[in-house]
Each structure stands twice: as structure tokens, then as C-alpha cells.
Amino acid sequence: MNNSNVSKWSLSSRIFHWISALLLLITWVMILLHENLDSNLYIGFHKAFGISLLFWMIARAINRIFTKAPPSIPMPKWQSMVSKLSHFALYAILTAMPLAGLLMTVYGGRPVDIFGLFQIPVFVTPDRSLARFYNDLHTDIIWPMIIGFTALHIGAALYHQFIKKDNLISRMK
Ligand code: HEM
Ligand code: HEM
């Protein structure tokens, strides 16, 4: 079956989708470079791209409220429920992750420099235990959730593409 002419996501939703995925990828690569190379450059980029993703996700959520989603394609009820829940979860965790990163940094008493353009000042009273709390949230709780939900999401896209062959991906292209 070829549903390539089924209704697509709006252009704005498609742009928001792919730029979010790209920002997530870059933010992740930056932390990998930070962990593997002896340079202070990449943690700064990690923070700046992560904050960019935070702003992008806020704009994306507003876009999502005001633009109409295409009607969902026919699928078993449980699949459409898992799909809706996991899309909602992706919005929530992609917003919570950079917020936790920001809070752990400012509670640690450090401002966040955004590509040398401006700085987010330390807008809270530094607190070591809160810094540690948001650090744990960032690395031990939300990060594994991002890995899990993203794997589920890409797995579902591959299932539609190669097993169901219903061309679902063309709705987001
Ligand atoms: C969606 C955006 C983000 C993602 C996906 C992300 C992901 C990660 C990951 C995977 C790690 C490594 C965790 C580990 O050690 O296993 C990390 C560490 C870190 N992140 Fe983020 N991050 C994001 C946003 C931010 C932001 C906005 C900030 C600060 C403004 C930030 C600050 C940090 C810092 C300082 C570390 C090092 C923590 C440590 O060494 O203990 N992150 N992040
Ligand atoms: C190879 C990578 C990816 C592919 C092929 C892909 C594919 C898709 C497709 C086809 C849809 C539309 C589903 C439908 O019409 O019911 C979609 C929606 C969505 N995707 Fe992805 N995606 C990818 C990566 C990502 C990543 C990395 C994220 C975030 C972590 C993400 C978050 C979302 C969200 C939140 C939606 C729901 C759309 C909305 O409500 O705005 N995607 N994706």
C-alpha cells in the first residue's frame, strides 16, 4: 500500500521536527567530544546547543498547539495510544533535559554562555545539593529516558517503513 499522498504534517511542524532531532544529535556529539577530548570547548557548545534546543522546544510546543496535526493513519488502538503517549513524552523530556542542565549549572554557581552572544546569569542562590540533584536528574534519569523513547520512536518509524510499508515517513518529510 502506498499512502504517499496522505495528508502531511504542516511545513512548520516538519521544520520543528527535523531541527529538534539535529539539535539533539549535536548536543549529544558535543558531550561525547567533551568526554573524550582534553578541551574545555565542547562543554560550552554542549550547554549552548542544549539551551538552543530548550528555546526550540518551547516554540515547537506553541506551534503544536496552534497548527492542526494530520489525521492519524489507521492502526490498532494500542499502537495509536503508544504513539500519542510517546510523542507527548518526547516533548516533555526534550524540554526537561536542558532545563535540568541549566538548573544544575546555575545552582553550581556558573552562568551559561550562549555562543559568546549573551549569558544566562546565575539567577538562583547557588546550592550544592540542588546542583547535585539536577545533575542526577540530567544524567541518570532523563538521559536514559531520551535514549529509550528515541529508540522506540525510530524503531516505530522503521517498522512503518519496512514492515508495514505504509510510507508514514512521507508525512514528516
Ligand atoms: C536536550 C539537551 C541536552 C542533552 C540531550 C544533554 C545530554 C547530556 C549527557 C548525555 C551528558 C553526559 C551524562 C553522563 O555523564 O553520562 C550531559 C552532561 C552534562 N550536561 Fe547536558 N544535555 C543537554 C542540555 C544541557 C544544558 C542546557 C546544560 C547547561 C546549561 C547541560 C550541562 C551539562 C553538564 C555541565 C554536563 C556534565 C555533567 C558531568 O560531568 O557530571 N546540558 N548532558
Ligand atoms: C531517524 C529519525 C527520525 C524519524 C525517521 C522520525 C520520523 C517521524 C515521523 C514519520 C513522525 C510522524 C508520525 C505520524 O505522522 O504519526 C514523527 C513525529 C514525531 N517525532 Fe520523529 N523521527 C525521527 C527522529 C526524531 C527524534 C530524534 C525526535 C526527538 C527526540 C523525534 C520526535 C518526534 C515527535 C515529538 C513527533 C510527534 C510530532 C508532533 O506531535 O509534533 N523524532 N517522527
pLDDT tens digits, 112-142? 999 999 999 999 999 999 999 999 999 999 9
Residue ranges of the chain with per-residue pLDDT less than 70: 1-6
pLDDT score recorded for residue 1: 42
Ligand nearest to the CA of 82: 2
Torsion of Cα atoms, 123 then 137 then 61 then 48, to 10°: 60
pLDDT score recorded for residue 2: 47
Question: What separation, in Å, do the N-terminal and C-terminal C-alpha atoms of the chain show?
Answer: 18
pLDDT score recorded for residue 3: 46
pLDDT score recorded for residue 4: 46
pLDDT score recorded for residue 6: 60
Q: Which residues line ligand 2 (CB under 6 A)?
A: 13, 17, 20-21, 24, 64, 72, 83, 87, 90-91, 94, 150, 153-154, 157, 168-169, 171-172
